[in-house]
Chain A
């Protein structure tokens, strides 16, 4: 058995930077690169795209990611694991194979499916948030169970270069290669918990390296414009050393690791994943060198009996409008504008908010004015049932050009569709997962 597996965290969400994982793959001496690309709402939005295009519904930046990474991954023998399959892992696998064919790089891709449980969803089931039935939220557009690491094991055993999934619990994406490499049993709860802790620390990529941590003057992080992404060297017992490539921006310290260990953990003594109930309360973080932090001591208890299901629903539209004011008497003019809009919109929209925002957007400086604040950007937002109704908000803000207080400028208006998310639980027995292989370049085809 090998003594060390190095996992890299190459994306913390769908919109994450594309350059950082390339650098990590190139210089990080990785065994596995993991791209976590699914926030809570991402998969519901992807489901809407799949409805419009049956061959779509995966991460919109998959092509950009794979095109640059594939040559590096193949030449260095790094395996890729990603939930970038989103609402359509099979289509994602096909898209990756198409890229490989174009680049003439042989590839084997394994797609993990089974997380989409919309057809099996019982609408009378209560939500975890409010206890009311799911049917309250109709129209429902997606229901995806959080799969655990075990769903990925057959894909890894197939020898695939790339494993694509839909909804999988974020830490499970990292735990799976550890279970695969070290042969950890699913009920080996302490090792599973340690692997889960490592996954949790890496799953937000740059956040472990000082992203979302920096606070100038108090928590200084240098060279954030070139923030490096992290890796972990994990041993056969799940103990790990976190690190990043020398010369990249950011820092990994006991403090950055502590914040990330506790990030979005509701109960540090009972962090629930599909794989384990993890107890982080006895975790020890030790700085062993510059940008190296050792992680030990997570413990585990039996995994939850049910899987969490994330249910997406259509939640109407939000219309927004902005306009800027600056200089002498700015507050009074902005407040007058706010009052005009409230009078014109309050009856039509039950959920209306008006905010006063601003710093340097209009003139870039405050000249010699004593006015504080020097500028205000008025932002108005309201919820609506239709896009047409939502558009009225921005139109009314724009109308202030000629109908409102002196000196308004720089209006912007937006209408965005809203996706709501509620959660429920589903018996594990009702979720069955499957691995489908796609391949290009097997021997004869490569000429």
Chain B
């Protein structure tokens, strides 16, 4: 299974007490897979 690190790059930041993480697919064809798998709930569980 490919790692997220191989499919996308990311920029982390914060605003007030909110952490922001953007995820950018290296290849456009992976965008829908990322949108489907990397949900708010999945990230919250991972962290």
A interface residues (Cβ-Cβ under 8 A, vs B): 40, 128-129, 212-213, 215, 218-219, 255, 258-260, 262-266, 421-423
Contact = CB atoms under 8 A, between A and B. Distances in A.
Interface string B1-21: 000010001110111111010
Given A255-B24, A262-B22, A262-B24, A129 B16 contact: yes
Contact of A263 (B5, B9, B16, B22): B22
Contacts of B10: 259
B24 A258 contact: yes
Given A262-B24, A263-B13, 10 more contacts: A129-B17, A213-B11, A255-B9, A259-B11, A262-B11, A264-B14, A266-B18, A266-B20, A422-B16, A423-B16
Contacts of A218: 5, 9
Interface of B: 5, 9-11, 13-18, 20, 22, 24
Chain B interface SS verdict (over half): strand
A315 to B, nearest CB: 13
Nearest to B11: A259
Contacts, number: 38
B16 A265 contact: no
A42 B11 CA distance: 23
A-B pairs, 7 with minimum CB distance: A262-B22, A264-B13, A259-B11, A129-B17, A264-B15, A263-B13, A258-B24
B17 A265 contact: no
A265 B20 contact: yes
B9 A219 contact: yes
B4 to A, nearest CB: 12
Given A264-B14, A264-B15, A266-B15, A259 B20 contact: no
A262 B21 CA distance: 9
A255 B17 CA distance: 27
A281 B16 CA distance: 23
Contacts of B11: 212-213, 259-260, 262-263
A215 B5 CA distance: 11
Contact of A264 (B5, B20, B24): B20
